Amino acid sequence: MEIQILGAHLAEVKGARLTSLLIDGTLVVDAGGITSALSLPEQKKIETILLTHHHFDHTRDLVTLAANAGYYWRKQLVVYAPRYTLDIVTEGLLSSKLYTNFLEYPSEEKPTVILEAIEPYSRKNIAGYDVLVLPVKHSAPAVGYQITSMNDNSLFYTGDTTVGVSECWQHISPRLLITEVAGPNKYADWLEKAGHLCAEFLKQELIQFRALKGYLPRVIIIHIGNPYEQEIKQEVAQVAQELEADIALGYEDMKITL
Ligand SMILES: [Zn+2]
Ligand SMILES: [Zn+2]
């Protein structure tokens, strides 16, 4: 399994994109920064998109990718998410009020975007991967995904989350954990209210992981609050040292082979 981090940041600025992961060139998880990261031939290979929640920084490139797929190569994209997320995305991004309605374009029989609702705690074969859907704590209804390949390599991506993500640990055994740190420890109270993690929160959640599972997976941090990146990097390095764990910040176009 090859994972490419398309977007690793909380804000879009030159050199930094919003949250998106690409798996084996065809499966995208979260749609914050797809089209500015990939050439047209690369975008053409994408068939499936999983969304963790409806927030704009995780969904907006549904529109730009659907436009390229619908206008240029008439390929269908299948988007999986919980029903609540799909409903908001349909109204906010895919309705004809905003732009082309890609749920009906180029035709109602063969639209560019097909929506598939998936339920928390369900397990489903999606695009050749075993996908386990787990609810996570955030400021909006959100899920994380454990994605397991045919040869049994697996990652768990929490999406946006905060204290209490450890409730997922009993259900998963990934080799790689991709999660978030949105700000530095000094903003811990605000981050918890906003549904995010800081390094100290991450440490507590990882301590629970190790107590429950007897190991720690490699951890990659994304959804990094841009102005605080150096502070976050230092605080995460401190956690890695204290836990003797492999934890590092992700970055745009980073590739990880599992
Ligand atoms: Zn969010
Ligand atoms: Zn976010």
Q: Where are the alpha helices (DSSP H) in 199-253?
A: 199-213, 229-243
Q: For residues 135-167, b (16+ Cβ closer than 10 Å) or e, as one string?
A: bbbbeebbbbbbbbbeeebbbbbbbbbbbebbe
Query: What pLDDT sits at residue 33?
Result: 98
Tokens of residue 132, six digits: 């386990």
How would you write the pLDDT of the chain (258 residues) with one tens digit per residue?
999 999 999 999 999 999 999 999 999 999 999 999 999 999 999 999 999 999 999 999 999 999 999 999 989 999 999 999 999 999 999 999 999 999 999 999 999 999 999 999 999 999 999 999 999 999 999 999 999 999 999 999 999 999 999 999 999 999 999 999 999 999 999 999 999 999 999 999 999 999 999 999 999 999 999 999 999 999 999 999 999 999 999 999 999 999
Span from the CA of 58 to the centroid of ligand 2 (angstroms): 6
Question: In Å, what is the CA distance from 117 to each residue of 24, 51, 232?
Answer: 23, 10, 35
Span from the CA of 31 to the centroid of ligand 2 (angstroms): 11
Nearest to 50 by CA among 38, 34, 69, 71: 34
Nearest to 30 by CA among 47, 53, 9: 53
Q: Cα–Cα distance between 177 and 116 in angstroms, integer?
A: 25
Span from the CA of 254 to the centroid of ligand 2 (angstroms): 19
Span from the CA of 155 to the centroid of ligand 2 (angstroms): 19
Q: Are strands 27-29 and 48-50 parallel, antiparallel or unpaired?
A: parallel
| Ligand whose nearest atom lies closest to the CA of 224 | 2
Query: What pLDDT sits at residue 253?
Result: 98
Residue identified by tokens 């080799």 is: 175
Span from the CA of 53 to the centroid of ligand 1 (angstroms): 7
Query: What pLDDT sits at residue 131?
Result: 98
Nearest to 78 by CA among 121, 131, 39: 131
Neighbours of 69 (CB within 10 A): 20
